[in-house]
Amino acid sequence: MTRRRGAAPAAWLAAITAASALVSADAFATSFRLPSTCADGCMTVTAYYDYGGSQDWACGSNTYPGHRGTDFAPFGSWSAMDEGRSVVAAADGEVIATNDGEFDRCNTGDCAGGGGFGNYVALRHDDGKVTYYAHLRMGTVRVGMGARVACGQELGLVGSSGYSTGPHVHFEVRPDGGSADDPFGGGDCSGPLSYWVAQGAYRALPGTECESTAPAPTDAAAVQSVVPAAGTVVTAGARFEVRVTMRNTGNTTWTDGESYLLTHDGDARFEAPEQIRLDGATVGPDATHEFRFEAIAPSTAGEHVGYWRMDRFGTARFGDRSEVRIVVEEAPVPPEDAGAPADAGQSQPTRDGGGTGRDAAATVDAASRTDASAGARPLGDDALSGGCGCDLTPSPSEPSGSNGERSAAPGLGRAGAALGLLVIALRAVRTWSTRRRRRPGG
């Protein structure tokens, strides 16, 4: 964990190569703010960590032999100290050591007390790093052992206690609580990493902003409801509407711009789109959104299930799976030998059973029917049914042409000349289809 200059270049190269791995690990590491409210124009760095030979992180000489921390000194020296210059926690942490009551106007660098730190506070941060704030003014230590302190909270005032020659705060970082490390990084004579939230330029002060304690963005979703309910019976080939309501249980906001969508996540898709968009909706944390889409029941009877899930960028699925589980039953077998007109009349309400309306059914049926087009069928069916009441079971041997002609007659009578032409055309088609249907059954 050391960043000393003495480390082999190969080791640093390996560290840099592993930077991507370190970034994720570092996401949980504590970063520091300037340990004082006395910032730009009020304070300056007087000594950095010594990498050996009195060389600092940027290969400068702003350090002295064996210095294990960073010294920040207020402009104005003793008068500034007397006015009071705050020393604050560089990050959230717990007080693990304090010392107070030591002489604080030391100018010889060898005053006793606190093991050389004089009056000081030590904090342990959430990632285990320990920071020391040393040489504080006597009687100003504000926090007690075991106290939980927040980033930026005042710990005491700048002084000159212990091994000190003038008012300053000695800020020292011990990554594992043991040996010290330089919080500055990225210089020609240092390691690559910095412990500062905003390190700033060489000889300038680190930033006073605390590290963000906001939780990392998290995508999460829970299934609120699914329509149709599990086990709903749907006729083979029928259209049905699916309504999946998802609750945003994460801390991100779902928007189209971020490409949040509902995506098919396995098994039956019921001919629905692979992805269902938010269509302009914005779904914040704890809000719900109903995704609607049309689906078509499979042609095979039995239970069918498909899954849908939230997805970000079309690649990162998250949250709970919603399940669409239906039971498909075969379309009713038409009454034996009922003939084409009766067949057409009975199948239609059954297929409308899903509640999607006559138009939808007509659309579905259009592809599978061999008789008239959807638009013309109502007239044709009515006309044919009305005419067929007296003769539902024409002899198979009877010429099919006569069946069609009798059936269609009443409708033709009500229709105008133009409709008459249409019915004639329909009749031709139906005659052809009737003939085809009857042939196998005899």
Residues binding Zn ion (CB under 5 A): 69, 71, 170
Q: Quick check: 36 and 136 in contact, CB under 8 A? A: no
Least Cα distance to 83 among 74, 92, 71 occurs for 74
Comparing CB distances to Zn ion, the nearer of 114 and 380 is 114
Q: State the minimum distance, in angstroms, from the CB of residue 123 to Zn ion.
A: 17
Residue 51 gets which letter from DSSP? -
Helices 339-352 and 377-388, packing angle to 10 deg: 130
Sheet containing 288-296, strands listed edge to edge, beginning at the edge strand earlier in sequence: 221-227, 239-248, 288-296
Comparing CB distances to Zn ion, the nearer of 105 and 438 is 105
Residue 137 gets which letter from DSSP? P
Judged by DSSP in three states, 397 sits in coil
Q: State the minimum distance, in angstroms, from the CB of residue 162 to Zn ion.
A: 10
Q: Quick check: 61 and 188 in contact, CB under 8 A? A: no
For residue 40, the one-letter residue type is: D
Comparing CB distances to Zn ion, the nearer of 125 and 168 is 168
Comparing CB distances to Zn ion, the nearer of 71 and 100 is 71
Q: State the minimum distance, in angstroms, from the CB of residue 69 to Zn ion.
A: 5
Comparing CB distances to Zn ion, the nearer of 69 and 387 is 69
Q: State the minimum distance, in angstroms, from the CB of residue 116 to Zn ion.
A: 10
Find where tokens 């080791």 sit: 11
Q: Quick check: 103 and 111 in contact, CB under 8 A? A: yes
Comparing CB distances to Zn ion, the nearer of 66 and 442 is 66
Q: What one-character-per-residue DSSP string does 386-406 give?
A: HHHTT-SS--TTS-HHHHHHH
What does the angle CA 42 – CA 46 – CA 49 come to, to the nearest 5 degrees? 130
What six digits make up the tokens of 76?
């104005």
Q: H or E stretch including 423?
A: helix 417-441
Q: Which residue is nearest to Zn ion (CB)?
A: 170
Comparing CB distances to Zn ion, the nearer of 163 and 254 is 163
